């Protein structure tokens, strides 16, 4: 039986179409690969974890400072307390590391001399420093480290006692030991600043740490704000 010409034409077209599609597929493969690579580049890359914020050490705030959270809410960082301080012991770190950018006292640089009138308190426009009687000021509390002290090795050093502006109300020598009265110490830092040892054998613990270490009601009557 002779071949059907119509069927032959169909087979011819099918074979031609198959061959064409195969060639198209071969031609599309490089493009498909390129598109896959492009899409991979477009995918959002996993970001590196954000570095943790640098831990800021607690600092000594100027005399009359409100409790730490209130102080930060109230202080406008106007710099007036820095300007009027007669010994320039109040500082502001523009980078925001020390004291989170708010006024603080670095007693290693300069200690509060408890100047007449305590002018920083009376010249604070926003009221972050509250005029406070001297005996009620709480910038921090001094701590004596006996084994670092020159007295531990037989030296009769008593510079910290001599330099304290509050005198025996805050610090005294008792039985050859330095004794600090936490009720009288205001944390001015004069003792630490004058201490001749390295590291210092007497240091001031900022009031913000003292507040964390005791009940909120403890000594509240003695604090401003």
The yes-or-no verdict on residue 8 having pLDDT over 70 is no
Q: Look at residues 126, 130, 202 and name the one whose alpha carbon lies nearest to residue 164.
A: 202
Quick check: 99 and 59 in contact, CB under 8 A?
Answer: yes
pLDDT tens column, 39-80 = 655 555 555 555 544 547 899 999 999 999 999 999 999 999
Q: What is the pLDDT of residue 221?
A: 40
Q: Is residue 4 one of the residues assigned to a domain? A: no
Q: Is residue 3 one of the residues assigned to a domain? A: no
Q: What is the pLDDT of residue 27?
A: 62
The yes-or-no verdict on residue 5 having pLDDT over 70 is no
Q: Is residue 84 one of the residues assigned to a domain? A: yes
Distance CA 225, CA 51 (A): 36
Q: Is residue 62 one of the residues assigned to a domain? A: no
The yes-or-no verdict on residue 218 having pLDDT over 60 is no
Q: What is the pLDDT of residue 223?
A: 43
pLDDT tens column, 144-199 = 999 999 999 899 999 999 999 999 999 999 999 999 999 999 999 999 999 999 99
Burial of 123 (0-12, 13-18, 19+ CB in 10 A): middle
Distance CA 192, CA 163 (A): 10
Q: What is the pLDDT of residue 217?
A: 44
Number of domains comprising the chain: 1
Q: What is the DSSP letter of 59?
A: -
pLDDT tens column, 94-150 = 888 899 999 999 999 999 999 999 999 999 999 999 999 999 999 999 999 999 999
Burial of 189 (0-12, 13-18, 19+ CB in 10 A): buried
Q: Is residue 222 one of the residues assigned to a domain? A: no
Q: Is residue 47 one of the residues assigned to a domain? A: no
CATH number of the domain within which 156 lies: 3.30.70
**Backbone φ, ψ for residue 143 (5° rounding):** -130, 130
Q: Look at residues 211, 224, 221 and name the one whose alpha carbon lies nearest to residue 58.
A: 211
The yes-or-no verdict on residue 224 having pLDDT over 90 is no
**Backbone φ, ψ for residue 183 (5° rounding):** -75, -25
Distance CA 81, CA 124 (A): 6
Q: Is residue 39 one of the residues assigned to a domain? A: no
Question: Does the reported pTM lie above 0.75?
Answer: no
Quick check: 150 and 196 in contact, CB under 8 A?
Answer: yes
Structural domain including 158 reads 68-214
Q: Is residue 36 one of the residues assigned to a domain? A: no
Q: What is the DSSP letter of 211?
A: H
Residues 6+ apart with CB under 8 A from 95: 101
Q: What is the pLDDT of residue 211?
A: 83
Q: For residue 212, what pLDDT band results from cuts at 50, 70 and 90? A: confident
3-class secondary structure, 197:
coil
Strands (E), 45-164: 90-91, 104-105, 140-144
Task: Return the half-sphere exposure (C-beta side, CA atoms, 13 A cut-off) of residue 168.
Answer: 2
Q: Hey, which residues does 202 pair with through a beta bridge?
A: 144
């Amino acid at each position: 039986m002779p071949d059907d010409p119509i069927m032959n034409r169909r087979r011819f077209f099918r074979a031609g179409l198959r061959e064409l599609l195969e060639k198209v597929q071969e031609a599309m493969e490089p493009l498909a690969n390129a598109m896959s690579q492009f899409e991979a580049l477009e995918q959002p890359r996993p970001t590196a974890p954000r570095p943790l914020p640098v831990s800021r050490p607690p600092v000594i705030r100027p005399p009359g400072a409100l409790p730490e959270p209130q102080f930060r809410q109230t202080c406008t960082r106007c710099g007036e307390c820095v300007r009027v301080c007669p010994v320039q012991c109040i500082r502001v770190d523009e980078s925001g590391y020390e004291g989170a950018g708010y006024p603080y006292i670095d007693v290693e640089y300069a200690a509060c001399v408890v100047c007449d009138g305590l002018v920083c308190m009376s010249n604070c426009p926003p009221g972050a420093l509250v005029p406070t009687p001297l005996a009620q000021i709480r910038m921090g509390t001094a701590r004596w480290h006996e084994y670092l002290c020159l007295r531990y090795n037989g030296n009769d050093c008593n510079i910290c006692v001599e330099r304290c502006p509050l005198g025996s109300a805050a610090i005294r020598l008792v039985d050859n030991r330095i004794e600090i009265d936490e009720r009288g110490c205001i944390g001015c830092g004069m003792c630490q600043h004058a201490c001749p040892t390295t590291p210092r054998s007497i240091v001031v613990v900022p009031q913000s740490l003292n507040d964390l270490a005791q009940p909120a009601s403890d000594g509240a009557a003695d604090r401003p704000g």
